[in-house]
Structure 1
């Protein structure tokens, strides 16, 4: 029977090398296989982390949403779709979603617009700009809870904000107890906390815009606003997309500010979805329903992210 040339091994003559035309067995550890193994070794930690800390928790949350788990009573029994039915019948959920939408919209608009304005200002070649960059970015590295507690004192009825307003003859409200002012206060506190991060991202993008394009637009007679709208915004649009995705996802995950400043009140005016999830799971011990709310939050974040990613094809400019 003939032997396949791929498996045949011909020993070379003594003291010589394989003669021409004789097949030689290829080594198993080729350069390509070594490169593939090295690549797998580099991505293995990230892949393992994604499985353990992302995919596995999501799978467990989906499982827990089908059960009712009472930790205090030690009960864990299957309920099927009862938690999802409860989600549809929850009378508080529409108000919670409304508060979540108001907080996210207010945060995104104020944060991005203020961050872009500060970046444009700090991009000017003026003296002392390094100091101002440091001042605007410093809240980002401050502890979130400490930042929120300080603002909680400032926003009280007899706090520093109203004390400052009284010096100009204005009686300020109790910012954290009014249904309208409470949401505005939480949004402002969060904006001042994280605006420095988006400012730095915008500043880096602005410094990457070629100066020749501004010169060409100026020669063509474009005023500053037209140069900003037709040159700056298209060239930094990838950064605008990045900051908008980060800010929207972060706004849907806010918890500490609400827990420290308002505890969701007054009524449900500042009860966002994450805080409502926390109340149901860890205050009322409805862990199954809390898992169902977390799935709702996951679907909202996923839908908004996919929507932004698809929308980028219409307005995001890439040089390639």
Structure 2
């Protein structure tokens, strides 16, 4: 009788575990299906296309093996494209994170009207990207609003979008002002989670405001800094609409970043095989930078130490 009860109990537990596993797989099935259809399958197709020379207009699809990758290594335009991509990414990450953290610290004060300022700084995030870029394109013209303001104070402004250095600065500034509110909100949420007792104890010990910020604020919000840095780096490598609307990669190739160069090769010159090779290069760069940031987290993220 005891053996029958033990066998029955074991069977019930086995059915319960099976039901739990089945329920778990059912919950994650939509996400797995979406990832398979919209992430892994396209990635495999891009890899396959990169091994071919595909010209849609000519109707040709020829296997070339590593030919596109050899062309990538000998592409005379690639160094300038990678340089422009690096300049844009570094400028965006540095200015976006710095300004977002500064705004978050300022808006974390308990003063009247702070909710209004938070809304104002966050509002560009929800504005259409194309509409935002078009408006800034008008403002940055030689006779636009920015030069009008400079002229009012006696300064002759440059043609922002038609000169190499100012064109890149303009594109970076437009992107920073567009998305700084998102990182600001993330930093603000992290700042509000820092215990006030730490600041009080440090103030009693005579620590200055800068010391409190460096020794308390930054370490306590370091996980959020890691998150925002990864998001911003990945986003900086995927910029396209701003370049397409503002500068079209010019003047010359000074603002031709990797994604826009990929678009030119695939959809303007109809070299889909080489465009796929550039997409693989972009994937490798994004993956490498993400892994580097993730590995380095143990050295400066407090909760990972």
Q: Secondary structure at the match of 2:157?
A: coil
Q: Secondary structure at the match of 1:30?
A: helix
Query: How far apart, in 2, do the equivalents of 1:165 and 1:314 lie?
Result: 45
Q: Which segment is superposed worse, 167-176 or 19-28?
A: 19-28
Query: How far apart, in 2, do the equivalents of 1:307 and 1:84 lie?
Result: 24
Question: Is 1:203 paired with 2:188?
Answer: yes
Alignment correspondent of 1:212: 197
Query: How far apart, in 2, do the equivalents of 1:55 and 1:276 lie?
Result: 23
User: 5+ residue gaps in structure 2?
Assistant: none
Question: Is 1:33 paired with 2:21?
Answer: no
**1:135 is matched with which residue: 86, 105, 120?**
120
User: 1:21/1:31 Cα in 2 relative to 1: closer, same or farther (>3 Å)?
Assistant: closer
Question: Is 1:45 paired with 2:30?
Answer: yes
Alignment of 1:77-116 (within 5 A): 77-116=62-101
**2:259 is matched with which residue: 274, 296, 305?**
274
**2:208 is matched with which residue: 214, 220, 223?**
223
Q: Structure 1 length as normaliser, TM-score?
A: 0.92
User: 5+ residue gaps in structure 1?
Assistant: 1-18
Report the alpha carbon displacement of residue 42 of structure 1 after superposing the two structures with TM: 0.2
Which has more radius of gyration?
1
Alignment correspondent of 2:139: 154
Q: Structure 2 length as normaliser, TM-score?
A: 0.97
Report the alpha carbon displacement of residue 318 of structure 1 after superposing the two structures with TM: 1.0
RMSD: 1.3
Query: How far apart, in 1, do the equivalents of 2:156 and 2:216 lie?
Result: 45
Report the alpha carbon displacement of residue 20 of structure 1 after superposing the two structures with TM: 4.0
Report the alpha carbon displacement of residue 170 of structure 1 after superposing the two structures with TM: 0.4
Q: Secondary structure at the match of 1:69?
A: strand
Report the alpha carbon displacement of residue 22 of structure 1 after superposing the two structures with TM: 4.6
Could you tell me whether the CA contact under 8 Å between 2:223 and 2:303 is conserved in 1?
A: yes
Could you tell me whether the CA contact under 8 Å between 2:297 and 2:304 is conserved in 1?
A: no
**1:232 is matched with which residue: 217, 241, 244?**
217
Alignment correspondent of 2:270: 285
Alignment of 1:259-270 (within 5 A): 259-270=244-255
Report the alpha carbon displacement of residue 131 of structure 1 after superposing the two structures with TM: 0.5
Query: How far apart, in 2, do the equivalents of 1:178 and 1:259 lie?
Result: 16
Report the alpha carbon displacement of residue 125 of structure 1 after superposing the two structures with TM: 0.7
**1:121 is matched with which residue: 78, 88, 106?**
106
- The number of residue pairs the alignment matches comes to 302
User: 1:310/1:20 Cα in 2 relative to 1: closer, same or farther (>3 Å)?
Assistant: closer
Alignment correspondent of 2:40: 55
Query: How far apart, in 1, do the equivalents of 2:287 and 2:183 lie?
Result: 22
Question: Is 1:180 paired with 2:173?
Answer: no
Could you tell me whether the CA contact under 8 Å between 2:298 and 2:304 is conserved in 1?
A: no
Q: Which structure is higher in helix share?
A: 2
Query: How far apart, in 2, do the equivalents of 1:276 and 1:104 lie?
Result: 15
**1:257 is matched with which residue: 242, 263, 268?**
242
Could you tell me whether the CA contact under 8 Å between 2:219 and 2:302 is conserved in 1?
A: yes
